[in-house]
Amino acid sequence: MSFLHKIRFSHKILGFILFFALFSPSVFAPFSHAASVKASIPESERIDFWSDYPHEELAEALCSRMSDEELFAQILMFGWAGQEASPLLIRWVSERKLGSVKVFGWNTDDIVQVAQAVTLLQQKAQSDRFKIPLYVATDQEGGPIRHVKGRTSDTPGNLAIGAAAYPADAWYSGYYIAKELRALGINMNFAPTVDLYTNFDSSVIGSRSFDHDPHFSGIMGASFAAGCMAAGVIPTAKHFPGHGDTGADSHGKLPVIDIDLQTMRSRELIPFEYLIRAHIPAVMSGHLSFPQIVEGNKPASLSGFFLTDLLRGEMGFDGLIITDDMMMNGATSYTGAVSAAVSLAVEAGNDIVISSTTAQWEEPMWRHNIDRMKTDKTFKQAVLRSAKHVVFSKLKYFKSENPVPLFPDIKGIDAAVPDPDADAFFTAQAARAVTPYKADILPYVPEQAAAEKILAAGQFRDFFNEAGRRYNNPRQFYFPYTLDTAQIHEKAEELAALARSFDTIIFCVANDTSRRVVSQAAARLSGQGKKLIVISVLEPVHVLDFTWADTILLAYSYSTFSFRAAFSALAGDFVPQGRLPLDTDALKDARTAH
């Protein structure tokens, strides 16, 4: 199939997909907060998760028979390090009845081992007296956030979807990503990210956003979530109430976002409103401080105002609320201890509390909260509320028409991952995203360039591979993704010295390091008559002031698909028509302020 044929896309289905994403109740069956009902199931009757009773009634009965330890374990989600589930995690599932597990990015190169670990853990859960399945989650947003690696599709990501501006691209991205997760037994995805691209210094969110516009982002987020649910995987909107307006990373410290509630309602909350109207099953709370709204720098993830009053009360969300990783400093810096942060998270209204690592058997997080359940009736009721909500949501999901099977088909993984149709789609999607920000030399046709000496300078193997495939193996200049200031100057001098012997230089710019290397090298080449071409990946803000460049193409990710599309556009295979998904007026104001 030719590249041009791959990028053709039927516009007739766009209206249907958008309607399907926003209003289809069959896709977004809501996980309503389980009402407090009186269990009519006799206590003498032996029941488990698969007993044939109404969901509300069965959830109430199961939780009423749980010990304090079982209730608290049901609202915890732990991850593990290494290729296989650790003995400690297995023990948490089999003996403490842990409710959920998470696959993090450090243990996923061998996807067959991931599926085998999922199978083992679900088997342990089914051996319990209540037989309650595990939620198995991961972060597979697309673009740079891809925790399950190995043979899964390395997709162009959200900002590329926003640049193309087709809701169908968001739907199919969610669908193909979820189909691959489904094949591994992963039933929950912490995506879509609907944080807005409003802070241009952010490398934490940046290309993970769909756009700066809240309504546009809401439509794209709802479309992505609908595709995810069509494949049977639970989507999760994040990071409530909005992580976009900060350059700080909540993994390292608590970000402070200095906006008032009116600004938040008119901006950050709008994408979540779209998703709530579309019955998003889950929302992730962010470790983010909004001092104009809640005093004392209390993170939103630990705030009853944000989660109970605003998200549930005012906005009407009735699905699961899940914390971001409680091991992040954004959570623990406020309380000083994980055990206290977990208590506050439950009291604030979170249903599931995540830890990226498996807690040790008698860790204070566990003992402190179990002791509180036995002495503090209000806290115990909060844990009971969350446990009932988790069990109720599991009953609705695992007894629905299209849940992810508990036990993945190990023998079928090679045929299912990557999805057989994903390559053609993501190739086309990446092509629709390519944005010609500057096009003085476009196309740069290989036949015309054959007589020229070409240098490719960048950080990624796929960048060099695609440059070589298009332009008769140009000379390569590699420099690392991160460098200190002295190393940046050194690499810039090396690059400029080498480039003087070439007619055309094709630069790859991915972050501030590569921006500085490339811009310093280009300054040394001024007036020498070189053709200077820039291919931007990830956040485009790094290259928008490159007045010296002849051509700037924005590709938005470092996936194979994006490099393939960028070089195809440069070579003239198609005319790139992507849009810049940034508020350029706000960008000018930000630069003026600096």
Query: CA–CA separation, 563 vs 574, rounded Å?
Result: 14
Query: CA–CA separation, 323 vs 240, rounded Å?
Result: 10
What one-letter code names the amino acid at 450?
Answer: A
Active site residues: 251, 324
Q: How many Cα atoms within 13 Å fall on the side-chain side of residue 254?
A: 22
The three-state secondary structure class of 514 is: helix
Query: CA–CA separation, 431 vs 418, rounded Å?
Result: 19
Q: How many Cα atoms within 13 Å fall on the side-chain side of residue 219?
A: 17
Asked if 362 and 354 touch (Cβ cutoff 8 Å), the reply is no
Token pair of 115 as six digits: 């599926």
The three-state secondary structure class of 191 is: coil
Identify which of 507, 504, 503 has the alpha carbon closest to the alpha carbon of residue 492. Answer: 507
Query: CA–CA separation, 200 vs 584, rounded Å?
Result: 10
Token pair of 345 as six digits: 């998270």
Tell me whether the omega of the peptide bond preceding residue 581 falls within 30 degrees of 0, making it cis: no
* Strand 435-439 to 100-103 pairing: unpaired
What one-letter code names the amino acid at 132?
Answer: I
Asked if 178 and 227 touch (Cβ cutoff 8 Å), the reply is yes
Cα Rg, the chain, nearest whole Å: 25
Query: CA–CA separation, 300 vs 250, rounded Å?
Result: 12
Token pair of 433 as six digits: 């995203």
Inter-axis angle of helices 377-398 and 338-348, nearest 10: 70
Asked if 224 and 17 touch (Cβ cutoff 8 Å), the reply is no
Query: CA–CA separation, 260 vs 272, rounded Å?
Result: 17
